Amino acid sequence: MTDTSTPAEQRIVLHNIRWETFEALLKEVGENRGSRFAYECGTLEIMTPLLEHETFKIQLGRFIVVLAEELSIEIKSVGSTTLKRQVANRGIEPDSCYYIQNEPAIRGKLKLDLGTDLPPNLAIEIDITSTSINKFDIYAALGISELWKYDGRELKFYQLAVEKYRERDVSLAFPLISVEDMSNFMQQIPTQGEVALLKSFRAWVRDKIVYLSNE
């Protein structure tokens, strides 16, 4: 067992954990907890996010909602819902995840089963400190088509292609934006007021839509 403590996240890693134990832990601790689980073929990471982590997660989630509103795209936010497939021997609780292209198929559902339901289209991972588990392999096994990953300094977009994630410059879910565009706003989070930054982002999105429509 390894216990790493930082100002952004606290992590505990357990090895040789059976799937049945993973399921039992999920049931025992329930949904009303601060920690998040990631499970890959017997390795379980338990991560507790602290202030720096949550600050970036919350504001990035707000950016996504603004994009959906301004582009008139319906989404379903499923937060840190546990995503798991026993057949893949993997499960994870992302910082945030969203149904976008697959939203009509999940609308109205209050329970999610990736054995029968389509997976979310976009997952968000804020990893300020190093994780001990291969989250790319977990998300690929679950069929998440796009992953945005932020490490406190750099934002990267990844898209699933032939069971592997490839880094991309433009979002699949929101082709309007590039990773450079989003990075500029992510860098402002520590120094700008939340409301002011959100207003600035919304204005930028609207200007970008007008610009592209006039091309």
**Closest residue by Cα to residue 5 from 44, 49, 40:** 49
Residue 131 pLDDT level (bands cut at 50, 70, 90) = confident
Nearest-angstrom CA–CA distance, 197 and 59: 9
pLDDT at 60: 97
Q: Is the pLDDT of residue 7 over 70?
A: no
Q: Which of 3-17, 84-98, 133-147, 167-181 has the lowest mean pLDDT?
A: 3-17
In order of their start, the domains of the chain are 51-213 (3.90.1570)
pLDDT digits (tens, 9 = 90+) for 177-190: 999 999 999 999 99
CA triplet 82, 83, 85: central angle to 5 degrees?
130
Residue 154: other Cβ atoms inside 10 A: 11
pLDDT at 8: 65
pLDDT at 1: 37
Strands of 155-161's sheet in order across: 76-77, 96-99, 122-126, 146-150, 155-161, 164-168
**For the residues 141-162, what does the mean pLDDT come to?**
95
Taking each helix axis from N to C end, the angle separating 194-213 and 51-71, rounded to the nearest 10 degrees, works out to 30
H or E stretch at 101? none
CA triplet 36, 76, 177: central angle to 5 degrees?
95
pLDDT digits (tens, 9 = 90+) for 36-94: 999 999 999 999 988 889 999 999 999 999 999 999 999 999 999 999 999 999 999 99
Q: Quote the mean pLDDT of the chain.
A: 92
The DSSP result for 167-215, as a single string, is EESB-SS-TT-BHHHHHHHHTTTTTS-HHHHHHHHHHHHHHHHHHHHT-
Residue 150 pLDDT level (bands cut at 50, 70, 90) = very high
pLDDT digits (tens, 9 = 90+) for 188-213: 999 999 999 999 999 999 999 998 88
